[in-house]
Structure 1
Amino acid sequence: MIVFRKSRKALVTGAGAADGIGVAIARALAEAGVSVTITASSARVEQRAAELRGEGLDVSAFAADLTLSGDVDRLRSETGEIDVLVNNAGMGTVAQPALQRRFLDLTESDWDRGIDVSLKTAFLSTRGFLAGMVQRGHGRVVNMASVTGPYVSNEGEAAYSAAKAGMIGLTHALALEVGRSGVTVNAVAPGWIATGASTPEELVAARNTPLGRAGSSEEVAAAVLFLASDGASYVNGAVLVVDGGNILQERKA
């Protein structure tokens, strides 16, 4: 079990779904002794925090639209300084689910929304909290990328693919800028992960991975927990793929 050597505070974005990756990350961090704040765009994030507190974990919640700088500023004021930022927000929200639309059918607003929810949220959140980490000489930023975009893609996911590829570029650039300040910036790139949002087609695709199954939110959270830990102090600018080896296959029967 990973244990943090000092008392740490973390913020996990995109933690509104009970069976989602964000909640699994928050649980893993809190179980390791980290004080965690979770955020999502709807008030259901308060319910997630209450459920985690019911497990005896130190978790609080703050509802915010992270595509808006004003909401991020209020979140920053509410939470104060943090040691770990997990930029997990992305895909879509309850009010605006992720869009599946071929490129020639995309409107400008479709494109903007796809980039905003999966990349601008990370930009604004990181801008809000990174300076404090640099000033204190310690911090961990973990960006939730995807194999979709940096390594593979699907029809109808041009905006999402561009945003997640951009997440890797952001990770690399920031890792160079703040590494000497004691802050590391890394990314996790999940493949087929079973959540409540998984479609039947996605679950079928997951059975064709080398491991023959979808991954779990907890398996993604384990990767994030390592990168967020004090022990990962010499891992910087890395992309940790969590896909059961699926991108290694040229043939996916």
Structure 2
Amino acid sequence: MNEPRPSLDSFDDGLADVIDLPSTGQTPTESSQRGRLQELDSLAGKIALVTGAGAPDGIGFAIATRLRLAGATVAIVSTTKRIHERAEEIDAVGFVADLTDEAEVGGLADAVTDAVGEVDILVNNAGLTSKSDPAVVKPVAQLSYEDWRSELSRNLDTAFLVSRAFVQAMAERGWGRIVNVAATAGVVNAVPAEAAYAAAKAGVTGLTKALATEVVADGVTVNAVAPGLVRTGSSTVPELQQGLDGPMGRPGTPEEVAAAAVFFCAPSASYVTGQVLVVDGGRSLRV
């Protein structure tokens, strides 16, 4: 004999429990609906760490800014002292660390916890190129093993080391968000002379999916964004020209990538994990 199906009201009550929101049992007014929507997206009381956030016009800083606007307490890290300037701009806490160094990552984890508390949200953005640290652009036949290891270290090892430093505590507390910044390179396309970068970013998506399966039952989600051509301070003229030639006629902005990344961080995104969201203005749709 079939059991009666639960009512929509009972489902709504259950959903409220899942996302830690009160259920009133009353028909909501437009005002209360709007307030509830804001609660669903609010990160008040959450502590977020964003890596690679030193550039004022970069993706990492845009993500950190949006997390702060959503109510989170934010810590940011980069390899140089300019991170303290960024931290002051958004009322965050800045740290300097080399995230390719296992010992420094361990020290960072302790320092962040002591300064702001246990991290609930981790955004692994470190690894993207900059003017001072450009990508290795060489055909595979001319690529040294040192070049190969360097690209993998800063683009893949960083995401692994920092995720490992924080994920267990998230799982033990029963709530967490990890968002990795990959790229369209290695995920949906590739360009000549950037094999190491493409391999590293493809590895980031593999790490994302594998880690998601490990903590899916612990209230921790792991997702990735894959930006295409985005206008930052490190963009080259040829890259910007490629953006102008894309379907939208322009490159993307760090803020557009940040919007996608912070979506994954929201309490309302609790049923999304192991996913890669491409942010490329439709460029990957073209053959």
Alignment correspondent of 1:210: 247
Preserved contact between residue 89 and residue 121 of structure 1 (Cα < 8 Å): yes
Preserved contact between residue 91 and residue 160 of structure 1 (Cα < 8 Å): no
Q: Which runs of 4+ in 1 moved over 4 A?
A: none
Question: Hey, what's the Cα distance between the residues in 2 that align with 1:37 and 1:92?
Answer: 21
1:74 Cα deviation (Å)? Answer: 0.9
Alignment correspondent of 2:200: 163
Within a 5 Å distance, the mapping from 1:44-55 to structure 2 comes to 44-53=82-91
Alignment correspondent of 1:144: 181
Within a 5 Å distance, the mapping from 1:106-185 to structure 2 comes to 106-185=143-222
1:103 Cα deviation (Å)? Answer: 1.0
Question: Hey, what's the Cα distance between the residues in 2 that align with 1:152 and 1:78?
Answer: 38
1:94 Cα deviation (Å)? Answer: 6.1
1:96 Cα deviation (Å)? Answer: 3.3
1:95 Cα deviation (Å)? Answer: 5.0
Q: Find 1:39's aligned residue among 54, 62, 77.
A: 77
Alignment correspondent of 2:97: 64
Preserved contact between residue 41 and residue 93 of structure 1 (Cα < 8 Å): no
- The 3-state SS of whatever aligns with 1:193 is coil
- The 3-state SS of whatever aligns with 1:142 is strand
**For residue 117 of structure 1, what is the amino acid of its counterpart?**
R
Per-residue displacement from partner, 1:210-248 (whole Å, max 9, x unpaired)? 111111000000001100111100001111110011000
Alignment correspondent of 1:74: 107
1:4 Cα deviation (Å)? Answer: 2.0
Alignment correspondent of 2:122: 85
207-216 vs 28-37, which moves further: 207-216
1:43 Cα deviation (Å)? Answer: 1.0
Alignment correspondent of 1:229: 266
Question: Hey, what's the Cα distance between the residues in 2 that align with 1:231 and 1:100?
Answer: 40
1:51 Cα deviation (Å)? Answer: 2.0
Bigger CA radius of gyration: 2
1:87 Cα deviation (Å)? Answer: 0.4
Preserved contact between residue 138 and residue 181 of structure 1 (Cα < 8 Å): yes
> Taking structure 1 as the reference length, what is the TM-score of the superposition?
0.94
**For residue 208 of structure 1, what is the amino acid of its counterpart?**
D
In structure 1, the gaps of 5 or more residues are 54-58
> Taking structure 2 as the reference length, what is the TM-score of the superposition?
0.83
Per-residue displacement from partner, 1:182-228 (whole Å, max 9, x unpaired)? 00000000001001111111111011221111110000000011001
Question: Hey, what's the Cα distance between the residues in 2 that align with 1:157 and 1:163?
Answer: 10
1:69 Cα deviation (Å)? Answer: 0.9
